[in-house]
Structure 1
Amino acid sequence: MRVFVTGGSGFVGRRLISALKARGDEVRALARSDKSVETVRAMGAEPVSGDLDDAEALRRGMEGCDGVVHAAAHVKAWGSSEEFFRINVEGTQRVIDAARAAKVKVLVHVGTEAMFVGGKPIVQADETWTRPEKPLGLYPLTKGLADERVLAANGQDGLRTVVVRPRFIWGKGDLTLLPEMIEKVRTGQFRWIGGGRYLTSTCHVANVVEGILLAMDKGRGGQAYFLTDGSPVEFRAFVSQMMETAGVKAPQGELPYGVAKLVASVAETAWRVLPLKGEPPLHRSILRLIGEEVTVNDAKARAELGYVGHMTREAGFAEMRS
């Protein structure tokens, strides 16, 4: 196949390019900076200069391609509404439009369980769940809207669209989640919300890629699939192990959930009204994603795609130590 990737220089994108090349596919990847161009080229992909605002770059990159993987997104917890909608919603629509125009056969979109933040607790969520009427935060809102647009585009101009929704992506090469946690530890800001002894689903980056490739080859059009490493684990124990792979001892400090919720609410209000520089120290949407149980059911991916999740947590930790 010839595959076009957005977000190719990112955590998931780099691993995806390697896997596509390993199975003999030609890969093109959108690159919005000189550094991104160098990164995707080093991974063996052909860089296509541009970003999600550039319809012409998307069209040019997808020309002659069989498949598209849309992994790029604005993943910040705080920012302007304009930026979130421009990248996550309008950018996704431009990807859909370009794929239709290029007569691409399949589009796989990397979604997230975060789209359900603002509704009931995300406990054993499956693909029958619908988005809450009032998502909590711009990231959940815009990623949910993007998810809907991708699924709604199935069948248009012969395009098959599939969404994968991994929960808590981790592994070697993570430049965001673990580094941010470690920085909070080093600056004395890290606390276990409510003790941290609740369950969480996780999905190693290699398993995310496994799910993407299976979705591309076997996914039913207009369908979404959750992806995980298997059975949920205790959040505190899992994050502590991740920190240990970087030589960082997890702290013992805790913050009651009720206090954290109050801090997040007051902080968000202050940052919106005043406004203050930077971003609030805690967000309500983040609190819902890492301060309480978040578990999802990937039985559909296992049954329909043959998804296994070959990378075990033990092997993932060993890889991070190497």
Structure 2
Amino acid sequence: MILVTGGTGYVGSRLIEKLRQRPEPVRVLVRTPEKAQKLVAGNISIVKGDVTDPESLVAAMKGVSTVIHLVAIIRERSGGISFERMNYQATVNVVDAAKAAGVKRFLHMSALGVVNDPNLPYMDTKFRAQKYVEASGLEWTVFQPSVIFGEGDEFINTLADLVRRPLMIAPAPFVPVVGDGKTKFQPVWRDDVIDAFIKALDDRSTIGQIYQLGGPDALTYEQMLDLIMQKLGKKRSKIYVPVPLMKPAVFMMDKILPKPPVTPAQLTMLSLDNSAPQSATEQLIGHPPLALRDGIDYIKKRNGARHH
């Protein structure tokens, strides 16, 4: 049996759809089963549990042979929803529960560019979580995706929103560019990331490996904006805003908006290289990954068909 954490999230929900096509039973860890009943069908069942509550994981792990751990946050919230608790301690809890239950296989969603640096709390907690998985003694595989795109995504849809609703600075509409716009990304399609996970389920040579996952093209932030403008048929001038100038505004939006366009953690990461020079996507999925250019027609729909 496979246990999936984060199965109701952006990547997890699509992973569950793909796992429906497999023979083995799949159990999805959910905090509120009443809200997740629609997942239950065929080989998919749900179990009540919370990655921040070690006791709740004991029953969830019974009879499980493989764990796919996807839970992480990109935005801290009040009520204890912190990077330390959700990205690091939750991983510790899931790994410890898996070991205690005799689980053998552990697939872990890390992030590209993780680094041991307390000044970058998202990257730091993801780094320490990954190291805990590596030291677990389980048959682990770690994935480090660059920015993930696909219908309903956050990142590309946010950039599309900036293009659709530019700043009006007389006499022309402007799109703000964070920093110099030269930070590199290697956007990878959600289904390609999921297919890499599924490949690892069936291939024991992936045990003990850390895989960077990127698409076929490394693009700068500015190149992605240009591509989105081209797709939307919009011409915009750009205004370059140094990161330090954006910090106060982003901090305020994070405090007062339910879904801010950019979080403080994302702003920091917009100045860090996020390309994947050792991308293993093609090697894992057996064909060239989808390019951003060929996979973002969804932004032409109203609001990029975003869902939460």
TM-score, normalised by the number of residues in structure 2: 0.77
Q: Which residue identity does 2:14 align to in structure 1?
A: R
Correspondences of 1:51-70 after superposition (within 5 Å): 51-70=50-69
- How much has 1:306 moved relative to structure 2? 6.3
Give the equivalent residue in structure 1 for 2:87.
88
Which residue does 2:221 correspond to in 1?
235
Structure 2: which 5+ runs fail to align?
A: 168-174, 302-308
Look up the match of 2:178: 193
Q: Is the 8 A contact 1:151 1:223 kept in 2?
A: no
- Per-residue deviation, residues 141-175 of structure 1 (Å, max 9, x unmatched): 2111111111111x2xxx2112100000111132x
- Aligned residue in 2 for 1:140: 123
1:237 maps to a residue whose letter is Q
For residues 296 and 255 of structure 1, the distance between their equivalents in structure 2, rounded to whole angstroms, comes to: 25
Match of 1:163 in 2: 142
Deviations 1:31-90 (A, max 9, x none): 223575145337973122222123243232222122111011122167788722111111
CA distance, structure 2, for counterparts of residue 141 and residue 302 of structure 1: 28
How big is the shift at 1:111? 0.5
Map residues 200-239 of structure 1 onto 2, 5 A cutoff.
200-218=185-203, 219-239=205-225
How many residues are aligned here?
291
Tell me the secondary structure at the aligned position of residue 211 of structure 2.
Answer: strand
Q: Within 1, Cα distance between the matches of 2:235 and 2:76?
A: 23
Matching residue's letter, 1:171: G
The amino acid of 1:181's aligned partner reads L
Q: How far does residue 314 in structure 1 lie from its aligned partner after superposition?
A: 4.7
Distance 2:46 2:268 in 1: 37
* Partners of 2:290 and 2:245 in 1: CA distance: 37
Matched, 1:296 2:276: yes
CA distance in 1 between partners of 2:109 and 2:77 (Å) = 20
Report the Cα offset of residue 91 of structure 1. 0.7
- Deviation at 1:140? 1.3
Equivalent residue letter for 1:206? D
Unaligned runs of 5+ in 1: 116-130
1:264·1:282 contact (CA, 8 Å) conserved in 2?
no
Change (3 A) 1:198 1:75: closer
Q: Percent identical across equivalent pairs? A: 26
Alpha-carbon shift at residue 28 of structure 1 (Å):
1.1
Q: What RMSD in Å do the two structures reach over aligned CA positions?
A: 3.6
In the alignment, is residue 152 of structure 1 matched against residue 135 of structure 2?
A: yes
Superposed displacement of residue 105, structure 1 = 1.8
Deviation at 1:96? 0.3
User: Residue 239 and residue 214 in structure 1: after superposition, are their counterparts in 2 closer, same or farther (change >3 A)?
Assistant: farther
2:159 equivalent to 1:181 = yes
Which whole-Å deviations, capped at 9, do the CAs of 1:79-137 have from their partners, x for residues lacking one? 7887221111111111101111221121111000242xxxxxxxxxxxxxxx34x3433
Task: Evaluate the alpha carbon distance shift between residue 39 and residue 195 of structure 1 in structure 2; reply closer, same or farther with a 3 A threshold.
Answer: farther
The equivalent of 1:121 in structure 2 is: none
Residue in structure 1 matched with residue 7 of structure 2 by the alignment:
8
AA aligned opposite 2:224: F
Q: CA deviation at 1:313?
A: 3.5
Residue 142 and residue 64 in structure 1: after superposition, are their counterparts in 2 closer, same or farther (change >3 A)?
same
**Contact 2:177 2:240 survives alignment (8 Å):** yes
Note the alpha carbon deviations across 1:288-311, whole angstroms, 9 max, x for none: 5334643122355656x5654543
In structure 2, what is the Cα distance between the partners aligned to 1:24 and 1:316?
Answer: 29
Contact 1:192-1:253 at 8 Å conserved across structures: yes
| Map of 1:22 onto structure 2 | 21
Matched, 1:311 2:290: yes
Counterpart AA for 1:261: V
Matched with 1:125 is none
